[in-house]
Amino acid sequence: MKLTERFDEQCVIVDSQKSTRREVIEEMVDRLCQVRHLENRNELLAAVLDREEKMSTGIGCGLAIPHAKVDFLDQMCIVACSVKRGLDFEAIDKQPVYLLFLIISPSGNTGPHIRALSAISRILSDADIRKNLIEAGTPVEFYARLQSGENKYA
C-alpha cells in the first residue's frame, strides 16, 4: 500500500505547536474533519482517545500511529503530523514522538487499516526518512519526502 495514495498534503501538519498528546490528536482530528468535510468530530476524537487509553500508540523511534475504526466512514483517512521539538506520548521506548500518523478506518474494513499500519512501520523504520520528514518545512515538502521514502521501499 502506498500511503500517499490515501491522503494528500492538505492532511499534513508541519511542526505542530500543541504541547500534549491529546492536543495534537485533537489538531489532527480537526484537520481531518476540515479537509474531508466530516461532521462527526466528537465521535472521531472519542474513538481515537478511547484507543489511546487502552495503550499508547507511540511505537518507538519517535513515531506514533494513533488510530481508530468508526461506523460512519466509507474509506480510510490519514493525517500526518510532525512535532520538531518532540512530544511526550508515553511511547513504548519512553522517548519523545516527532512524527504522528492518524489513521481512521471504517469498522468493517480491516485489511487496508492493517496494511496502512504496516506500511508506516516499514517505511519509517528508516532513520533517514524519519529525519527528512521531521525537517520538512511545509506540508508539500513533507508529502514529497514521504513519497520519496515510499519509492525507496516500493
- pLDDT of 71-129, one tens digit each? 999 899 999 999 999 999 999 999 999 999 999 999 987 888 899 999 999 999 999 99
Catalytic residue among 11, 13, 47, 67: 67
pLDDT at 110 (0 to 100): 81
- Cα distance between residue 119 and residue 113, in whole Å: 10
pTM: 0.95
- Active-site residue flag, 67: yes
Count Cα neighbours of 148 within 13 Å in the Cβ-side half-sphere.
13
The three cell numbers of residue 17 are: 505547536
23-36: pLDDT as tens digits: 999 999 999 999 99
CA pair distance 55, 35, nearest whole angstrom: 28
